[in-house]
Structure 1
Amino acid sequence: MAKKTKATKKKKSAQKPALFTRLRKHFGTDPAKLPVIEQTFQSYDRANLHLTIEELLAGADPALVGVVLPNLYSGVSLARLARPTTGKEYEEGPVEFVDVQLANDQRLACVKQGLYTFRDDGHPVALLLTEEDRRAFRDRGLQVEVMAPDREAAERFSRKLVKGVRQGAAFRGKVLSVEEGCLGGTTVRFHKLPDVNRESLILPEELLTRIERQTMGLSKHAAKLKAAGRHLKRGILMHGKPGTGKTLSAMYLAAQMKGRTVLVLTGGAVGSIETACALARLLEPATIVLEDVDLIGTEREQQSVGANALLFELLNQMDGLGEDADILFILTTNRPDFLEPALAARPGRIDLAIEVPLPDETCRRRLFDLYSRGLKLELTDLDVWVRRTNGVSAAFIRELLRKAAVLAAEADGTGPELVVTDQQFEEAIAELLVAGGPMTRALLGFASGTA
């Protein structure tokens, strides 16, 4: 019995590691003598990498196996798997996948760690996909190693992989936001643009036409303009009081220019300017929407060191784009007087600065018509309310109608429809202007001395 156990152990120790054996059988030679090309991709490109690998390996009859690490913090490489002495630490196991969010609420199961073996242009190739060093206390990128019979074959496939990832199949033509993580990594999220049509954008016709010409017009005629040597990179700055429709206008423009990739930066995402511009270059035609640019673009003496760095990065990225890059910057601000002068000082950064004004009488009437849909207005004279709201923003009128509808529901919630009278309007005005206090008035773009 003792002799049998000893023989079993001896036989087991003579067995070659499964992953080493797989590589040796695939290449028909000692894999430790073959070259390896390494590439690192950003973690947010996981879906693009997965789709590229699937496309390149379609019809190549690939084999895919998982790699089991000896412990959580152990790294793995083809060089280790290619030698029996180091490869024995790793076992063949199930393929690990990670569920990745895509646009339109779709999801994609992407390989997290695995070893592919296949043939490319008649040559045997191995591809190992892993995450970067797990011991690093930071966001880990994706590491891809390619092994082939010669360096040229490995480089050739590696370059095809890089080219495919840069096409950004998962991102192209989508609405994205880019955010910096606490560990230094970048997260790309998908969004849906609000359904904003031209009729719901209440601006003076001449103003809206100018905005459309600078944005949609250039996109429509991009090929002709480029052939004529005209630059396509442009920027538009929309400024005005809060609630006048700057953000809504930006969303309208982004939604109307079909086929463009849209990157939205706002709030804490302004630290991702470099990444957003890099993505825009790869995914052009693209539109970068930077809301409340005054958060980083105010006069330098009023800024912190961090804000100065972000402003410098914004200007640097805008300057660094090629003239023929079909990239549109849409910037919004409530404080144009405090905006850094350098931001709009020369063409190529900002080509057009447009003030989005408070609605005039015609626009206020249109706003009442728009926001009263679904309500029954029983007013003595609508013109009185149009005149009384002189100097208020579109956001104020929308909230006025909403507040009046709530009051109408409380007054008579049994009827088939909400009937709004002058009384509800008076109560709504009083609640917004008096009970709401200065903060509410400021948030709704209310100008003193009106209503």
Structure 2
Amino acid sequence: MTELSRDEAEAFVQAVVQLASMADRALPQRSSPLTRRLSEHLGGVGDDVSSTSMSVPVVERVNVQLALDAFAASTDRFDVIGLQSDIGNYGGVSLTGMVTGSWHGPGEAARQYVAVDIGVGESIDCLKSGLVLTGIDGEPVVALMYASENYRQELIVEVVGATQAAADGFLARLRELMHEHNAFRGKVVAFSFGMHGEFGLTFVKLPAVGRDDVVLGPGELEAIEAHSIGITEHADGLRAAGQHVKRGLLLYGPPGTGKTHTISYLVGAMRDRTTIILAGGAVGAVGQAGTIARSLQPATIVIEDVDLIAMDRQLPGGDHNALLFQLLNEMDGLAEDADVLFVLTTNRVEMLEPALAARPGRIDQAIEISLPDARARRRLVELYTRRPLDPHNASDDDLVERLDGVAPAFIKELARRAQLVELRGEESSSTSSLVVALDAMLEHATPVLRRSLAGPADD
């Protein structure tokens, strides 16, 4: 037996490794119908496969589907292959592996779809995972779409083309169509969060609020409209004059005075805008909201109780609030011609960071939504009871006077209680249902409220 030299031994080992690698690639190609189908569509592939990919939040699944539907409508070369919906659980899943035959995971499966909302009460069927066989500019491409099962919950789209230009071109076109057909544009959406921080978007139907349904102090509504609706209507003219249209509006005042009610009116009056609502725990999504607003402008970002993330840095703990800096960065980072309106509300304006509340360019207009005066209280009673008060009735005047110091929310509840009094037959010829209801509400009101009203004294 002839002993091999060191160089000969190394060459022999390298040849064995190369043969094993070739066999490993060739065997799946011969045995996998999926690999053969993909290879035939692409016109045959070698070891070097041209590919590109993107990952987006799973919430974008609906926009990927809308983009694919739009692309399918523009071509006669479009086929969909189903894959197992849990394919993201398999390690190393990749389209390049499927095309070259190095993918040892599951193959074709029945197409599975999931209904995803595109509006309130509207949905479309979206492919859970699968392959799209199509082409662009005369060159074949294959696209793989599946949801990763990691904690970030991403949607992966990988594209392989006969050339790199084809792969890049198809993905670029898909992004364009996602933007063009975005399901969130012009809608009202709110954020929701999962236990691992992944976020979703839900479509919101706000109550219909007309201008006559908004009862504020003298000049307050007009000032709010000028800064929101007015700039929206004249955005093009302002840009042409070199003026910016990005802006911030702060509504502050005691609880229940109508801040959220006023926002519902503004959103309804500016229907063509994309509106993102951040409230409660979702206020932490200000970064994601800013990204969506910039992409889908004209847009409005509503942040309820902004003091939760924008507390004065001089207060205990305020200097460690990273969300404050995120909010400031989002407001400062907008382009001058970006039609993005921030509407912020707070019950505790004294706690806000001065760099936010006292700086034009961030908050350009701050309106106090105060407790209603006598005129406003009379209008609110008529609005919520849907009946006029008699201007010459002393009892009605006394009722309006007794409501001095309450918020509109209290008057709205009073109207509901009065209706219950009438349904139960508890009113009398001498005492109106409103008076009966008000007496009962004041009897059980909190001590703070009773001290502020002309009601029963607090023992």
- Both proteins in one fold, TM over 0.5: yes
Partner of 1:190: 203
Following superposition, the deviation at residue 428 of structure 1 comes to: 2.3
Query: Contact 1:180–1:187 (CA<8 Å) still a contact in 2?
Result: yes
Structure 1 residues 447 and 395: alpha-carbon distance in aligned structure 2, compared to 1, 3 A threshold: farther
User: Could you report, residue by residue, the CA deviation over 1:331-352 in whole angstroms, capped at 9, with x for unpaired residues?
Assistant: 1111111221111232221000
**Partner residue in 1 for 2:404:** 390
- The alignment partner of 2:108 has SS state of strand
**Other-structure match for 2:125:** 109
CA distance in 2, matches of 1:13, 1:228: 65
Pair 1:321-2:334 in alignment: yes
User: Which of 178, 181, 187 in structure 1 is aligned with 2:194?
Assistant: 181
For residues 262 and 420 of structure 1, the distance between their equivalents in structure 2, rounded to whole angstroms, comes to 49
Q: 1:291 aligns with which of 304, 324, 328?
A: 304
Distance 1:167 1:299 in 2: 40
Who is 1:82 aligned against? Answer: 99
Correspondence for 1:100 among 116, 120, 131: 116
Deviates more, 1:428-437 or 1:291-300: 428-437
2:248 to 229, 235, 249: 235
Q: Which runs of 5+ in 1 are unaligned?
A: 1-11, 413-417
Partner-residue secondary structure (3-state), 2:231:
helix
1:277-315 deviations in Å (ceiling 9; x for gaps) = 100000000011111112222223545579711112111
Question: Structure 2 matches for 1:19-418, cutoff 5 A?
Answer: 19-30=34-45, 32-58=47-73, 59-68=75-84, 72-84=89-101, 86-132=102-148, 134=149, 136=150, 138-167=151-180, 169-302=182-315, 304=317, 308-373=321-386, 381-411=395-425
For residue 216 of structure 1, report the CA deviation from its aligned partner. 0.3
TM-score normalised over the length of structure 2:
0.86
Displacement of 1:37 after TM fit?
A: 0.6
- Structure 2 residue matching 1:165: 3-state secondary structure: helix
Which AA in structure 1 matches 2:58?
A: S
Relative distance call for 1:174 and 1:426 in structure 2 (3 A) is same
Counterpart code for 1:320: G
Structure-2 separation of matches of 1:97 and 1:239: 46
Identity of paired residues, percent? Answer: 38
Q: Distance in 2 between matches of 1:289 and 1:14?
A: 54
Work out which of the two has the higher radius of gyration on C-alpha atoms and give 1 or 2.
Answer: 2
> What displacement does 1:356 show?
1.0
Structure 1 residues 44, 14: CA separation in 2 closer, same or farther (over 3 Å shift)?
closer
**Aligned CA distance change for structure 1 residues 33 and 319 (closer, same or farther; 3 Å):** same
**Greater CA deviation, 347-356 or 422-431?**
422-431
Q: Contact (CA 8 Å) 1:100, 1:108: kept in 2 or not?
A: yes
Number of equivalences: 426
Number of the residue aligned with 1:5: none
1:31–1:82 Cα contact (<8 Å) kept? no
Which stretch of the first structure deviates more once superposed, 186-195 or 293-302? 293-302
What is the alpha-carbon distance in structure 1 between the residues aligned to residue 212 and residue 40 of structure 2? 67
How far did residue 87 of structure 1 move? 3.6
Residues 71-130 of structure 1: CA distance to partner in whole angstroms, max 9, x if unpaired? Answer: 94344211211223x245432121222221221211111111101111211111111111
What residue identity is the alignment partner of 1:83?
T
**2:446 aligned partner:** 437
Change (3 A) 1:72 1:338: closer
Query: Does the 8 A contact of 1:293 with 1:333 survive in 2?
Result: yes
Distance 1:447 1:60 in 2: 75
- Residue type of the alignment partner of 2:276: L
- Which SS does the other structure have where 2:237 is aligned? helix
Relative to the length of structure 1, the TM-score reads 0.88
Distance in 2 (CA, whole Å) between partners of 1:381 and 1:154 is 78
Q: Find the aligned partners of 1:283 and 1:222 in 2 and give their Cα distance.
A: 16
Distance 1:384 1:393, change over 3 A: same
Kindly provide the CA deviation profile for residues 203-234 of structure 1, in whole angstroms up to 9, marking residues without a partner as x.
23522111111110000011111111110000
CA distance in 1, matches of 2:365, 2:252: 11
> 1:323, CA displacement in angstroms?
1.5
C-alpha separation in 2, matches of 1:200 and 1:420 = 30
CA deviation string 1:15-48 (max 9, x = no partner): 4301111111112212543301111111111101
Which amino acid in 1 is paired with 2:220? Answer: L
DSSP 3-state at the match of 1:436: coil
1:63 positional shift:
1.2
Q: d(CA) in 2 for partners of 1:336 and 1:405?
A: 35
Q: Which residue identity does 1:27 align to in structure 2?
A: L
Counterpart CA distance in 2 for 1:296 and 1:409 is 45
Q: Compared with structure 1, are the counterparts of its residues 419 and 253 closer, same or farther at alpha carbon in structure 2 (3 Å cutoff)?
A: farther
Per-residue deviation at 1:163?
2.3
Kindly tell me: are residues 296 and 71 of structure 1, through their superposed partners in 2, closer, same or farther at Cα, counting changes over 3 Å?
closer
Matches of 1:152 and 1:276 in 2, distance apart?
33
Deviation at 1:167, TM superposition (A): 3.6
SS at match of 2:452: coil
Moved more, 208-217 or 166-175: 166-175
What are the ranges of 5 or more consecutive residues in structure 2 without an aligned counterpart? Answer: 1-26
